[in-house]
């Protein structure tokens, strides 16, 4: 299909015009689910078991006439509800930000320049640039197109893609009709560009599109619960069952032994509150949500939460060379023509004998290129031939012959002003150009030698050829022209500065790096040596892949880290071979044909800058800057998240033991009650922010990238972790019970004993937090860490403790007595030592746990 519309004349909307339309008509998105009302949020909050227990205890206090106790529990309810409302707003904002990042991106022309924006910001009147693999962001009229095929099955159910033509009338006078059928000059929101490229003017956005009219969402992803979520749900369920049975047992024992069933019910509720680890599900949600947010700050967008869990288990990173390991900024560095080669020096003139090579390379490219190679060709040609007639600015482009799977070359046909009538410029893979030029064996052998020589220098090569054609009717195939070989253009793509260190870090972390490229083996090996890839002398080509059995490949891939001349469809074969070997595979990709491999890999990583929407939809992670360093940073962060989550779960187990023990111990031995519901609610106000914000914000351990990848089936809370938590919890419980019994033995009353014991428990709890944050640092070094959340919790908890001990009104509400200097000394010594003594056995504990 011929292109008759000149894209260089398009200016599109101005930013001010677009902003005005956006403000007037709203975002380009379908109506989202209504926000929850305050009443519905309150109902959801009140479903939380801890709040139900607090309310139950409050009602019993009211029934007993203990109004002050009921009021203090009610205050705690309001505090928790307030925190929940605040978290709800923060979560909505975070999810909205992530939604904006993960929405399809659109390439538009504004103020005459190409600009990539979120799809939801496209407005009526915008000019879209659509390429193969793009998801159309809005309904529009096609202004210009070449070989433009679009999959409209989402709207029409048609199994085949339909061909598009460009509009013949004024775009503003055309309104898209019903989708379906070939040769319509309209594109529709949500459809997918399968082949070719085009330019379209938006005629409708948001709910006014065909998609909006029929009221169907583009599709939702139902994710299976991750292993972590299943494990924590099982733990909470088991604890709830155990706590319920124990609660009923305590009520019965208390009622029978003391004859006071209402206080027995209070004791049972206290024990239930002490045992219920409701923090598990909250902690998991916060860690994964904050992890996704932290990764987005490092240019890594997590589209599926389980990927965070899987990242720390990755054993193999399969990465594209171009744009990921390299800068994707092609620099023309070497050319070959007429049996002579020349190294390009940007500061010198180019010999005239090489002018024709640049001339036809320029004529075979887009006039307003997006491709890095074509940008460099245009830049170099305009530099070395600035006023030369070889650029032929007055010629008219009459036809384009695109790349195809069978012929990796493209041709532009120009209408010239001389006797040649039509001048054909072609460029493409050197093998394709050799095929088009029908070279004899001697010429072919000489050229292949030169190609290998240049490829061994790490150059990416393009062959250039020319032809002329006199007839008005152009042939259907490029093969029908009589091409003459001109020469080779050699480009170098510099390695990203951070890659060498990142690859080294991967090897230290026990992660293999496999490079996949469409370039020649020599080019791949050259880059592999530059970045420090292991075994750079071994490689497998795409041709080798196509002839290998899966079992043979699975064996060879154990020692091969370079795959060259690979087409995107073959990535799936590589992924399957690695999975056959039991590897946990992360795979990068950017094209339509990469989607199956991205979906099959344990972690599909799409490119955000140059990737297609199809690749993004199939992936679990999107790299917003396409940098290999970001992948390694994501792995590091994934390991940190799992590490800190494991610490938080261990802390939750440990801290609930002394609380439950203090609720149970006095009942079993007919002693005064230590913990009342208000006390447990106070402790929860320390435990909740500690296990969520403090542990989540803790920096990674210094050896986190010196460990082998975690087994994907490893339980979050296995036998060793459970034993360590039991050890810490038992030590804390022993310390507070010793203080409790000591107070009673010294003749102190119930209130004095309760105050000493509770204060000791708070100090022990704070010591437990600091101790569990890092087993590689001392307690003092952990206290001096960059973790601001730790300081806030420590200061807040100690301030709260001082208030309830020394403000008379609060002291009476909590049924505490005044602590003196010697009492405080006991509290701090026992509370600290109940955990600190374990640090003396730090080496043994780290080796065993």
Q: How many CB atoms lie within 10 A of CB 19?
A: 13
The residues that bridge with 135 in the sheet, in sequence order, are: 192
Pick one of 2.70.150.10, 3.40.50.300, 3.40.190.290, 3.40.640.10 as the CATH number of 7-29+106-214: 2.70.150.10
- Which helix (H) or strand (E) element contains residue 642? helix 628-668
Give the count of alpha carbons within 13 A of 588, CB side only.
31
pLDDT of residue 279 exceeding 70, the answer is no
331-487: CATH superfamily: Calcium-transporting ATPase, cytoplasmic domain N (3.40.1110.10)
pLDDT of residue 843 exceeding 60, the answer is no
C-alpha of 36 from chain center: 27
| CA–CA distance, 22 with 688 (Å, rounded to integer) | 42
CA atoms 685, 688, 689, 691: torsion sign: positive
Q: How many CB atoms lie within 10 A of CB 552?
A: 12
CB 546 within 8 A of CB 574: no
pLDDT of residue 57 exceeding 80, the answer is no
Residue with tokens 């600290």: 832
Percent of the chain with pLDDT over 70: 77
Write out the two tokens for 419.
Answer: 């006797």
Q: Per residue, what are the HEC states of 372-428?
A: HHHHHHHHHHHHHCCCCHHHCCCCEEEEEECCCCCCCEEEEEEECCCCCEEEEEEEE
Write out pLDDT tens, residues 789-830.
899 999 999 999 999 999 998 898 888 999 988 999 999 999
- Start and end residues for every CATH 1.20.1110.10 domain found in the chain: 45-88+225-296+634-706+714-848
Residue 664 has what pLDDT? 78
CB 231 within 8 A of CB 238: no
pLDDT of residue 33 exceeding 50, the answer is no
Residue 341: band (very low, low, confident or very high) from pLDDT cuts 50, 70, 90 = confident
Work out the angle between the directed axes of helices 261-275 and 677-689 (0-180°, nearest 10): 10
Query: Residue 250: CB partners within 8 Å, gap ≥ 6?
Result: 264, 267, 268, 271, 664, 667
Q: What is the DSSP letter of 182?
A: S
Longest dimension (CA), the chain: 117
Q: What is the mean pLDDT of the chain?
A: 80
pLDDT of residue 612 exceeding 70, the answer is no
Residue 336 has what pLDDT? 93
- Start and end residues for every CATH 3.40.50.1000 domain found in the chain: 300-327+496-626
Write out pLDDT tens, residues 714-735.
776 677 778 888 899 999 999 9
- pTM, whole model, 2 decimals? 0.66
Helices (H), 114-226: 153-156, 210-214
Residue 87 has what pLDDT? 53
Residue 280 has what pLDDT? 66
| CA–CA distance, 323 with 116 (Å, rounded to integer) | 18
Residue 434: band (very low, low, confident or very high) from pLDDT cuts 50, 70, 90 = very high
Residue 546: band (very low, low, confident or very high) from pLDDT cuts 50, 70, 90 = confident
- May I ask the CATH class of domain 300-327+496-626? alpha beta
Rounded to 5 degrees, φ, ψ at 404 are -140, 165
| CA–CA distance, 666 with 252 (Å, rounded to integer) | 15
The mean-pLDDT minimum among 52-61, 192-201, 622-631 falls in 52-61
| CA–CA distance, 311 with 294 (Å, rounded to integer) | 14
Write out pLDDT tens, residues 202-216.
998 887 887 776 544
Residue 217: band (very low, low, confident or very high) from pLDDT cuts 50, 70, 90 = very low
Write out pLDDT tens, residues 509-542.
999 999 998 877 888 888 899 999 999 999 999 8
Q: How many CB atoms lie within 10 A of CB 428?
A: 21
pLDDT of residue 609 exceeding 90, the answer is no
Query: Which of 513, 785, 780, 792 is closest to 644 using CA atoms?
Result: 785
Residue with tokens 């374990």: 838
CB 123 within 8 A of CB 25: yes
Write out pLDDT tens, residues 342-360.
888 766 777 778 888 999 9
- Start and end residues for every CATH 3.40.1110.10 domain found in the chain: 331-487
Pick one of 1.20.1110.10, 3.20.20.70, 3.40.190.10, 1.20.120.1750 as the CATH number of 45-88+225-296+634-706+714-848: 1.20.1110.10
The mean-pLDDT minimum among 407-411, 552-556, 559-563 falls in 407-411
């Amino acid at each position: 299909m011929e292109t008759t519309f000149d894209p260089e004349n398009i200016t599109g909307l101005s930013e001010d015009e677009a902003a005005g339309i956006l403000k007037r008509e709203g975002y380009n998105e379908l109506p989202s689910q209504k926000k929850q009302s305050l009443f519905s949020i309150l109902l959801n909050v009140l479903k939380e078991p801890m709040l139900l227990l607090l309310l139950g205890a409050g009602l019993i206090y009211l029934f007993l006439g203990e109004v002050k106790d009921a009021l203090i529990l009610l205050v705690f309810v309001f505090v928790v509800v307030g925190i929940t409302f605040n978290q709800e707003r923060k979560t909505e904002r975070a999810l909205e930000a992530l939604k904006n990042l993960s929405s399809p991106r659109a390439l538009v022309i504004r103020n005459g320049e190409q600009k990539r924006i979120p799809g939801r910001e496209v407005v009526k009147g915008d000019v879209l640039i659509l390429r193969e693999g793009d998801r159309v962001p809005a309904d529009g009229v096609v202004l210009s197109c070449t070989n433009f095929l679009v999959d409209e099955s989402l709207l029409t159910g048609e199994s085949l893609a339909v061909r598009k033509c460009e509009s013949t009338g004024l775009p503003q006078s055309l309104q898209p009709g019903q989708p379906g059928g070939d040769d319509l000059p309209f594109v529709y929101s949500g459809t997918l560009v399968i082949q070719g490229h085009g330019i379209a003017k938006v005629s409708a956005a948001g709910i006014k599109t065909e998609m909006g009219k029929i009221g169907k969402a583009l599709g939702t992803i139902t994710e299976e619960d991750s292993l972590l979520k299943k494990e924590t749900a099982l733990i909470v369920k088991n604890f709830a069952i155990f706590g319920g049975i124990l609660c009923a047992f305590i009520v019965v024992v208390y009622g029978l032994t003391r004859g006071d069933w209402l206080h027995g019910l209070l004791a049972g509720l206290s024990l239930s509150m002490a045992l219920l680890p409701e923090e598990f599900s909250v902690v998991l949600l916060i860690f994964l949500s904050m992890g996704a947010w932290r990764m987005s700050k490092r240019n890594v967008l997590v589209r599926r939460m389980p990927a965070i869990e899987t990242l720390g288990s990755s054993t193999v990173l399969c990465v594209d060379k171009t744009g990921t390991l390299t800068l994707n900024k092609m620099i023309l560095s070497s050319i070959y023509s007429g049996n002579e080669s020349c190294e390009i020096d940007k500061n010198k003139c180019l010999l005239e004998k090489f002018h024709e090579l640049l001339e036809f390379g320029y004529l075979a490219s887009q006039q307003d290129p997006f491709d890095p190679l074509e940008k460099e060709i245009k830049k170099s040609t305009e530099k070395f031939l600035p006023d030369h007639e070889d650029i032929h600015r007055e010629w008219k482009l009459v036809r384009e012959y695109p790349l195809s799977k069978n012929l990796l070359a493209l041709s532009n046909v120009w209408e010239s002003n001389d006797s040649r009538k039509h001048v054909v410029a072609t460029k493409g893979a050197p093998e394709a150009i050799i095929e088009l030029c029908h070279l004899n064996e001697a010429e072919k052998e000489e050229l292949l030698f030169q190609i290998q020589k240049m490829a061994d220098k790490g150059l990416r090569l393009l062959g250039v050829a020319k032809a002329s054609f006199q007839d008005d009717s152009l042939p259907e195939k490029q093969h029908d022209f009589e091409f003459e070989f001109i020469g080779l253009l050699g480009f170098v793509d510099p390695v990203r500065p951070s890659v060498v260190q990142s690859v080294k870090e991967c090897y230290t972390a026990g992660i293999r790096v496999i490079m996949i490229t469409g370039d020649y083996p020599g080019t791949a090996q050259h880059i592999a040596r530059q970045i420090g890839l292991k075994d750079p002398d071994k490689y497998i080509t795409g041709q080798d892949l196509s002839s290998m059995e899966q079992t043979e490949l699975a064996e060879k891939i154990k020692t091969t880290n370079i795959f060259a001349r690979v087409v995107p469809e073959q990535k799936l074969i590589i992924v399957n071979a690695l999975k056959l070997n039991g590897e946990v595979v992360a795979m990068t990709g950017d094209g339509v044909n990469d989607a199956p491999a991205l979906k099959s890999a344990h972690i599909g990583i799409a490119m955000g800058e140059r990737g297609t929407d199809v690749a993004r939809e199939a992936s679990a992670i999107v790299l917003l800057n396409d940098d290999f360093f970001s992948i390694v940073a994501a792995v590091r962060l994934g390991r940190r998240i799992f590490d800190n989550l494991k610490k938080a779960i261990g802390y939750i187990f440990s801290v609930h033991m002394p609380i439950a023990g203090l609720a149970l111990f006095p009942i079993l031995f007919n002693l005064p009650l230590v913990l009342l519901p208000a006390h447990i609610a106070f402790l929860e106000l320390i435990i909740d922010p500690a296990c969520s914000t403090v542990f989540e914000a803790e920096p990674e351990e210094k050896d986190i990238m010196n460990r082998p990848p975690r087994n994907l089936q490893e339980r979050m809370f296995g036998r060793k972790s459970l034993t360590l938590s039991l050890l810490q919890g038992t030590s804390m419980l022993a310390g507070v019970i010793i203080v409790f019994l000591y107070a009673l033995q010294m003749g102190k009353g119930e209130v004095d004993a309760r105050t000493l014991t509770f204060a000791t428990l708070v100090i022990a709890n704070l010591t437990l937090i600091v101790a569990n944050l890092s087993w590689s640092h001392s307690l003092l070094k952990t206290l001096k860490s960059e973790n601001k959340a730790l300081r806030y919790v420590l200061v807040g908890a100690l301030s709260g403790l001082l208030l309830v001990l020394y403000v008379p009104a609060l002291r009476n509400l909590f049924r505490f007595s005044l602590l003196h200097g010697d009492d405080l000394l006991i509290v701090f010594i026992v509370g600290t030592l109940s955990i600190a003594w374990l640090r003396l056995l730090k080496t043994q504990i780290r080796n065993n746990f």
